[in-house]
Amino acid sequence: MMQQMIQATAIEQHRPLYVFALESEAAEEFAGYNTVFTGIGKVQAAYQLTKSIYTQRPGLIVNLGSAGSTHFKRGEVVCCSSFVQRDMDVTGLGFQKYVTPLTGQGPILQYGLQLEGLPQGICGTGDSFETAHIVTEYDVLDMEAYPLALIAMQEQIPFLCLKYISDGADGGAAEDWTVQVHHAAAALKRVLAGATTV
């Protein structure tokens, strides 16, 4: 699949909507930006983004937030353009794990921009805060990105997803996230200010 191309310095020309789960992930760094705070989880994320699309029709959806990983280091910003719905499991009816039955969509949703110079991750989205991550199909864990990417694709709106790694998706994840989430906004804003997409 070909990746779309955009200059990060030109993001504001595309009428972006910056989508966060929580206000604490944006802090004061994104005051004055066109933002929406969805709340936690896939259903909230899907509802709030859909409502925003139909009230303002953005030219670009930018999902920013925190995530866990056993692969990437804490404090690293990772770009995701591949997504897995990690809690979708209908294998009991003969479907492949992570596949939503009868949608025609495979286990990995590939949609979005890539930012040059950033590591690429596969984001596993699910309605659980992971503290014992061991699977290898995805290396970044969050609770909102998959439906955001899916809706952006269905609505044919370009999508950029950047995740600040706040914890190791392990036994110390809750404590690490509580501390690290406050650093996410500044790190994400620095990346947006100086990167180029490919």
Domain ranges of the chain: 8-194
User: Domain 8-194, what fold?
Assistant: Rossmann fold (3.40.50)
pTM: 0.89
Distance CA 197, CA 37 (A): 25
pLDDT tens over the chain, length 198 residues:
445 655 565 677 789 999 999 998 898 999 999 999 999 999 999 999 999 999 999 999 999 999 999 899 989 999 999 999 999 999 999 999 999 999 999 999 999 998 878 899 999 999 998 777 788 899 999 999 999 999 999 999 999 999 999 877 666 655 666 667 778 889 999 888 875 454
Nearest in space to 66 (alpha carbons), one of 161, 138, 198: 161
8 Å CB contact between 34 and 58 = yes
